[in-house]
Structure 1
Amino acid sequence: MGAGRRRDFPGWRMVWALAGTETVAYGVLFYSFAVFLVPMQRDLGAGTAQLSGALTLAMAVTGAAAPAVGRWLDRHGARWLMTAGSLLGAACVVGWSQVRTLPQLYLVFTGIGLACAAVLYEPAYAVINTWFHRERRAALLTLTVVAGFASTVFLPTSQALIDGLGWRGALLVLAVPVALCAVPHALLLRRAPADLGLAPDGAASPEPVAAPGPGPSATPDPPAAPVDPWQDPAVRRLTLATALEMLATTAVAVHLVAHLLERGASPTLAAASAGALGAMSVAGRVVLTALAGRLGTGPVSAALIAGQAVGVGLLFALPQPASTVVFVLLFGAGFGVIHIARPALLGSYVPAAVFASVSGGQALAGQLGRVVAPVAAGALIGAAGYGVAFGAVAVCTLAAAALILSAERAAALTPERAAPR
């Protein structure tokens, strides 16, 4: 930790605990599905589309539950919600290991979707927003960088377990770390610093501490406002930006390998390129956090997301393999930026008392983008080819970048945020 950061502050213990549990939750409840797909096809006698529908259903349920989860978080905090979500997730993974039919699989993944709503990023964001003001960006970076390695850890681990125990046995083993996540959730998470007689960031005074850096995104918490936060144009524009960015990144994640193969790339290069997007997303988050203190979270986020559109253009303008390398660098750098930018910006737009509720609505918008993306992009590819589909991706990223800048301008013009920072 940097100088001036309280090493004994419970908020940082929560961040590191959440970083570990998010890695497990994402790795088992989301990323591992790709590894289990082929053995399930053989055992259940179902096609890829039928089985993939279970994961799509889980994402839809997660999004639908997000607003209710946000309201719970605002009233009660994350402790018992995340504890129960971990236990539910573990029970559902055990149930997944026992399915024999598609309806059973879909029922289990309905439960997994509910568990994801309770244990993935949304409640973790709410914890960080409550416990941190000045150091919020650093806390978000720690959380998302560590959890960004979930696929790196759990895809090979899941495959090794399948090779040794079969897919059903592998799931029984993976249910154990999911269940164990309930322990740090129950023991370490607390609703707010004031419950322990503390202030955010471990400050001696309960007064909020202004964050460094220019622009509205540098103000950690605005004064409480009596109006509906959804009437705030900054909130609405950030929500739409989130949906468009999630649509764009999901479409690329699903269809990039097939496009590269059609362009003549080797299977090895295509697979490595898709995997490298995750590694570059970590680099992009680090860049955002490093520059945001001087330039503002909004402008840096918008620049990285707009860079994704440049990457798409160069993917079609340059020859292989240079086009793929440049694309991965530019598109990957913006790939995970929204996971830090959205909660950081939203925390400067709305009062802390309603942060989780509004964030839940934004999470629903983002999940809708993720659910729509594979089908919409697939339809465009079938009708007009990869060029048109990836062109639509570039338009979405440019629109998202513009909306983030517009949200920042709207926030700067709001009277209660207009005071010097």
Structure 2
Amino acid sequence: MALAHPPLTGDPELIDSWRAWLVAIGAGLSCGMAFGTIYTFGAFIESMATEFGAGQGGTSVMIGIATLLFFSTGIISGPLLHHLGPRPLLAVGGALFVAGLVATSSVSELWHGYVVYGVGCGFGAGLFVSPLFATAASWFLRHRAVSQGLVATGPGLGTMVLVPLAQRMIENLGWREAFRWLAVIGAITVLVCLVLVRRTPIVATAHPREHVRRVVRTKAFWQLTIGSTLFAVPVIGSLAAIIPFASSVGIGAGAAAWLLSVVGAASIFGRLLLTSFARALGSIRLLKISFAMLPVAFVIWFFASDRYAQIVVFAVILGVGYGGFVALQGDVTPHLFGVAGIGSVLGRLFFCYGIGSMIGPIAMFTLLESSGGTLLPIALAGGVALAGVLVIWGLTPDPVPLEPTTSTRAPRSPLQLSPPSVWMTVPASSDRWS
């Protein structure tokens, strides 16, 4: 059965152009600022828990709410992308994100933080993160995997830079002032990226809503969504918990904060390295390998105890697997389902990722407090990661047929343009994607 992704119309000369790379850079900077800021929460949790007299489990609800909204808002922002384009979403979401950081710096009760940090930072970032990944993907054809690696490098850079910076600011200025400075960094980044980001140069000739309905009925879609949920639980849980977990076994605060920078640096390496081999080895094959790195990483962490070098090895493997999975998913998704309605499809994937992101940190800290040690939460995180690998391993390497067709020709690229005089095609080869 030949693939029947809806044809697209627009300006083919802009695909893979210098303008497309500027969009990818803008998307990467915005997503890097958002991810990096959210991931600084592990540096804040001890100071906030102490001031408000709450346990780390209770305080971690803030990051649980924020990450849930951060990712799950994609189910709303995806359809909005088709109607409004990315810039209004970046402007409104960026303003909410910055306002949430400023408001969090002034909370007098912990539950206030649940609201302003969760809704402001989580929902605000969720309005633009998923749409920017989708927008960048739609600007590329031949270099989509590399461009998605570039976009996904932003979160790695953000984590690598902002986490130790936040730790230093907390030590020297206090946690409230640190949030205010993060707000300044966020505002400047959003303004710069509003200049770089532009709406996709191609438009689906078919109605994207009907296309998305077909997508969500496929086995491959559910493998990706369930796999994304099971991926997020251990990854986001570890990113939130690694600093306090390391501190609990006697590692200093500064050294513990640098572990997140190691994760960020390794994720950059994973994003750029794995996406650069996507054409040769196949994005879907590399996606599975990236996921399979997680159980290995947690076995190493489980036996690390207070050995800092071994925890660093865990952080490196976690970062490479995490970075590769996130970057390759932006290439795999349009390959399997086409780019028509891609904002909505990626939004649904982000929503499932958000469910796992909410569960992960809360589960890690709750298990830490209830068990009195780190071994149980680390072991369960590894078990969840292994379950996710089993779900994702059977993912098809070929584009998913979404409607019957009598054509006997090889499937065209999902980015093929209409009318025929401006069609853009690439060789259809499952080896490239498997």
TM exceeding 0.5:
yes
Distance 1:111 1:400, change over 3 A: same
Distance 2:43 2:316 in 1: 26
CA contact (8 A) 2:287 2:329 kept: no
Q: For 1:270-292, what per-residue CA distance to the aligned partner results, in whole angstroms no more than 9, with x for missing partners?
A: 66555433322222222311222
Distance 1:272 1:26 in 2: 16
TM-score by length of 2: 0.76
Distance 1:251 1:393 in 2: 8
Distance 1:385 1:39 in 2: 20
* Equivalent residue number for residue 71 of structure 1: 79
CA contact (8 A) 1:95 1:108 kept: yes
* Equivalent residue number for residue 372 of structure 1: 359
More off after superposition, 182-191 vs 69-78: 182-191
- 1:20 equivalent to 2:41? Answer no
* Equivalent residue number for residue 3 of structure 2: none
Specify every segment of 5 or more residues in structure 1 that has no aligned partner in the other structure, as ranges.
196-205, 207-223
Distance 1:43 1:380 in 2: 22
Distance 2:40 2:247 in 1: 24
Count of residues paired in the alignment: 389
Q: For 1:38-93, what per-residue CA distance to the aligned partner results, in whole angstroms no more than 9, with x for missing partners?
A: 55456555544443322222222334422111111133221111111111222222
Match 1:81 to one of 89, 93, 97: 89
Distance 1:282 1:388, change over 3 A: same
Aligned-pair identity in percent equals 24
TM-score by length of 1: 0.78
* Equivalent residue number for residue 187 of structure 2: 179
Specify every segment of 5 or more residues in structure 2 that has no aligned partner in the other structure, as ranges.
1-13, 205-209, 412-427, 430-434
Cα deviation for residue 342 of structure 1 reads: 1.7
Question: Equivalent residues in 2 for 1:11-410 (5 A)?
Answer: 11-28=20-37, 30-41=38-49, 44=52, 46-109=54-117, 110-120=119-129, 122-162=130-170, 165-194=173-202, 228-255=214-241, 267=252, 273=259, 275-314=261-300, 324=311, 326-377=313-364, 382=370, 389-409=377-397
AA paired with 2:100? C
AA paired with 2:298? V
Cα deviation for residue 412 of structure 1 reads: 6.2
AA paired with 1:309? P
* Equivalent residue number for residue 215 of structure 1: none
Task: Answer 1 or 2: higher relative contact order, Cα 8 Å, separation at least 6.
Answer: 2
Distance 2:314 2:196 in 1: 41
Distance 1:6 1:178, change over 3 A: same
CA RMSD of aligned residues (A): 3.7
Q: For 1:379-399, what per-residue CA distance to the aligned partner results, in whole angstroms no more than 9, with x for missing partners?
A: 666569765654443343334
Distance 1:136 1:226, change over 3 A: closer
Match 2:19 to one of 10, 17, 20: 10
CA contact (8 A) 1:250 1:374 kept: yes
What secondary structure sits across from 2:60 in the alignment? helix
CA contact (8 A) 2:150 2:272 kept: no
Distance 1:145 1:242 in 2: 19
More off after superposition, 86-95 vs 380-389: 380-389
What secondary structure sits across from 1:126 in the alignment? helix
Distance 1:133 1:317, change over 3 A: same
User: Could you say which structure has the higher helix fraction?
Assistant: 1
Distance 1:21 1:65, change over 3 A: closer
